[in-house]
Amino acid sequence: MDVSPIIISLKTATVSMIITFLLGLFIARFIVNIKYEKVKIILDGILTLPLVLPPTVMGFFLLIVFGINRPIGKMLLDFLGVKIVFSWSATVIASIVISFPLMYRSARGAFEQVDQNLIMAARTLGMSERKIFWRVIMPMALPGVTSGGILAFARGLGEFGATAMIAGNIANKTRTLPLAIYSEVSAGNMDTALNYVLIVTVISFVVVVLTNYFTIKERKYLK
């Protein structure tokens, strides 16, 4: 069994989770602080869109953005010598785009559950907004935020459609576990495909257990 899809998937999911975690954290906080509900609803809809659109549609949009004949993709290639499509970077970008809504919504939900009285009390004591975020909001929201990060990792690990569109299915380069499973089944190698499936299943089970653990922990914090 070729272990490169396992390594590529784990590396892709880890890098995308780190980026998604930071983006989701601060964008969720930004959305929560918006006072105009209509603006909040529109922005929330845009940020959540990758969660409801088919991954192949998001992959198509990514091709439109990063294709070598498109403005951004051409600029990256001409000025930086960076080609996104059919590269490992493309697998990371696809994972970030698809998993971001899970992290964003988890973080937003966790922030909205924080007791506003604690925030007001911190402001009364003269704490800056930055200190309030890190010393008051984040400790209270941490279980929910962590749960979102774990879900983002799992979603990044299992991404197929957008990855196939923008990164392709190149052995030892962009072939992640889902793509490897598809390739092995297409080639009739059911035993190898089963091995990959078992690996994904075990990782997914661990993710579900960890998510449930942090969900329970979050409920205890809110009591």
Query: How many other C-beta atoms are found inside a 10 Å radius of the C-beta of residue 174?
Result: 24
In angstroms, the CA 34 to CA 42 distance is 12
Question: Which pLDDT belongs to residue 223?
Answer: 55
Task: Answer whether 59's CB lies under 8 Å from 165's CB.
Answer: yes
Question: Which pLDDT belongs to residue 220?
Answer: 61
pLDDT 10s per residue in the chain (223 long)? 789 999 999 999 999 999 999 999 999 999 998 888 889 999 999 999 999 999 999 999 999 999 888 888 888 888 888 889 999 999 999 999 999 999 999 999 999 888 888 888 888 888 888 899 888 888 888 888 988 898 899 899 989 999 999 999 998 999 999 999 999 999 999 999 999 999 999 988 988 888 888 777 656 655 5
In angstroms, the CA 204 to CA 21 distance is 18
In angstroms, the CA 154 to CA 207 distance is 7
- Extract the tokens encoding 182: 């598809």
Question: Which pLDDT belongs to residue 46?
Answer: 93
Angle between helices 4-33 and 177-186 (to 10 degrees): 130
CATH of the domain at 74: 1.10.3720.10
Task: Specify the number of domains making up the chain.
Answer: 1
User: What does each C-alpha distance from 211 to 23, 30, 88, 150, 163 come to in angstroms?
Assistant: 20, 24, 28, 7, 25
> Which candidate, 98, 213, 111, places its Cα nearest to that of 161?
98
Task: Answer whether 101's CB lies under 8 Å from 46's CB.
Answer: no
Question: Which pLDDT belongs to residue 181?
Answer: 94
Task: Answer whether 161's CB lies under 8 Å from 127's CB.
Answer: no
Task: Answer whether 103's CB lies under 8 Å from 13's CB.
Answer: no
Question: Which pLDDT belongs to residue 64?
Answer: 92
DSSP, collapsed to helix, strand or coil, labels residue 76 as helix
Q: What domain range includes position 149?
A: 4-222
Main-chain dihedrals φ then ψ at residue 39, nearest 5 degrees: -65, -40
DSSP code for 179 = H
pTM, two decimal places: 0.88
- Extract the tokens encoding 183: 């390739």
